[in-house]
Structure 1
Amino acid sequence: MGSDARRLRVAFLGLGRMGTPMARHVRDAGHDLTVWNRTPGKADALAAAGATVADTPAAAAAGRDVVVLMLADPEAVEQVLLGPDGVASGAEPDTLVVDASTIGPDASRRMADRLREHRLRYVDAPVYGSVGPATAGTLGVLAGGAEADVAAARPLLELWGDPEQVRHVGPVGAGSAAKLVRNLSLGLALAGIGDALRLAATLDLPADVVDELMAAGPLGAAFPGVREILASGPPETAGFTVDMLTKDLRLCLAVEPRLPLVDAARRVGEEAHATGHGQDDTRTLPVWQRDAS
């Protein structure tokens, strides 16, 4: 880390729905921020707030204490870290890479091994929550890595999440593993609500009865978000898309194929994508499932 632990030199790579508010927290906390995004225009707002915009991941990583990634999938992470003009070709030895993406434990361990060849450190720290918590800085964070590396990353992790929800869950790969287990439960809950809504519609149950039963039942923790969609319609901007959840379910099945309910939930997500709903908020998935022909 830099000599002044209160002001880190940070590169943030990936400025999507989640990455942009997370990077803004880094800048608002007074850290020296450089950003990169495959689509450069997404960096404009952060540039106006004082961030430096780099042309490549290598340029963004040069001279930084910490490089943060918030990218879509394992392929994107590998390209940005190890591809031409990637982080590994620009970062100085001992730079800490904090991967907030959800890429699965095998990919996380592979990235850590490859980066170690370049004398770089790696923490997998996927976050859970949607755009609202990302903006508020109340995400959950599940960190995997060496104790010293997670401790070094913690000043940033606690900008994104409630300190009580920032957990060191084990060695490299453990953060990604924990995130998959969590999102597996989300996928199953949403698909289960969708099946329940479809059966209730087939049986012509009154909406208020269905609402009461679902809210009080085993899927009640996931139901309030769906209830909001039922009452008000889908949000203009998705907090967490159907496509991203479906990607996470595929990652679960890549680790353990013997998950028949996860496979069924994956198919629901892929069917929603095929009908043009992949970029919808995940909370809309049960409603789509209820109404799908």
Structure 2
Amino acid sequence: MSKVGFIGLGIMGGPMAANLVAAGHEVTGYNRSQAKIDQLVAKGGKAASTVAEAVRDAEVIFTMLPDSPDVEAVVLGEDGVLAHAREGALLVDCSTIRPDVSRRVAEAAAEKGVRALDAPVSGGEPKAIDGTLSIMVGGEESTFAAARDVLGAVGTTVVHVGPAGAGQTVKAANQLIVAGNIGLLAEALVFLEAHGVDTEAGLKVLGGGLAGSTVLDAKGDKMRNREFGPGFRIELHHKDMGIVQAAAREAGLTIPLGALVGQLVAAANAQGDGKLDHSGLFRQIANLNGRD
């Protein structure tokens, strides 16, 4: 079992750190809010009052942070992870950030003798809690092999997808697909409601056919019941769609459907729905049709 430092104990990071504890690892956690640290301690983890304290003795360091600037500050900062990590440690960044930032982190880590992976995750809070996340991993093959067992404590689909930054590129594609599915599911539900269809029955039969998806299973009832408590917030998906658009431009690509759903997500965020679960995009689609 490994000594693990875990930085970022939010909706996703907290359950992931708890699953590492449950798997027998010695986990020391740090978060800006003390309450999140206390929750990890209650589940058998240890508390750190600084980033340095969390990572100094760690063999494996996880980061799960909101955005690229957060990762740059926490990992590359003067008093950050790389300033205190021991030589030979594994750095596993599970944040969803720009691929170029992940590549820069990997290069800086290598200069410090730290092995780095970008390992963004998909599955939302429910799969973070039950340890069945899908993890797309970028980095050296040997580093992935060294981290495979510890990643298995938080995910069941753990795939090496290429060199540094590749994990983030695959995650951008994931977020593109998810946003499109959420937008179309919202439109379909508004369509069913407008025609007076029993939406519970309608979504059940749709879920059993080619239209079925994980998004439909996870988000359909949230939309039907107008329950948009956050699992993955709209404001974060808005950030991710920005990553998608930037990466598409970098590759000289046009993504017309992605651009449209990106604008809908941006509108939902601008109109005050950013703290809602991304299934709350339904509200934007409903409002466009004069419904609620």
TM-score scaled by length of structure 1? 0.88
- 1:87 corresponding residue in structure 2: 81
1:275 aligns with 2:268: no
Contact preservation (8 Å) 1:58, 1:88: no
Question: How far did residue 220 of structure 1 move?
Answer: 3.3
Distance 2:22 2:209 in 1: 41
- 1:157 corresponding residue in structure 2: 151
Within 5 A, what are the aligned runs for 1:68-147? 68-147=62-141
Contact preservation (8 Å) 1:56, 1:85: no
Distance 1:240 1:57 in 2: 25
Within 5 A, what are the aligned runs for 1:161-200? 161-162=155-156, 165-198=157-190
Distance 1:251 1:112 in 2: 19
Distance 1:268 1:217 in 2: 27
1:54 aligns with 2:48: yes
Distance 1:234 1:47 in 2: 30
What root-mean-square deviation, in Å, do the aligned CA atoms of Structure 1 and Structure 2 show? 2.1
Question: How far did residue 253 of structure 1 move?
Answer: 0.6
- 2:227 corresponding residue in structure 1: 234
Structure 2 unmatched runs, 5+ = none
Distance 1:249 1:30 in 2: 36
Q: Secondary structure at the match of 1:123?
A: strand
Q: Secondary structure at the match of 2:78?
A: coil
State the identity as a percent: 35
Structure 1 unmatched runs, 5+ = 1-6
Question: How far did residue 50 of structure 1 move?
Answer: 3.4
Q: Secondary structure at the match of 2:19?
A: helix
1:205 aligns with 2:187: no
What is the number of residues matched between the two proteins?
282
Range with bigger deviation, 9-18 or 225-234:
225-234
Contact preservation (8 Å) 2:122, 2:135: yes
Distance 1:28 1:215 in 2: 34
Distance 1:26 1:128 in 2: 17
Question: How far did residue 218 of structure 1 move?
Answer: 5.8
Distance 2:28 2:146 in 1: 19
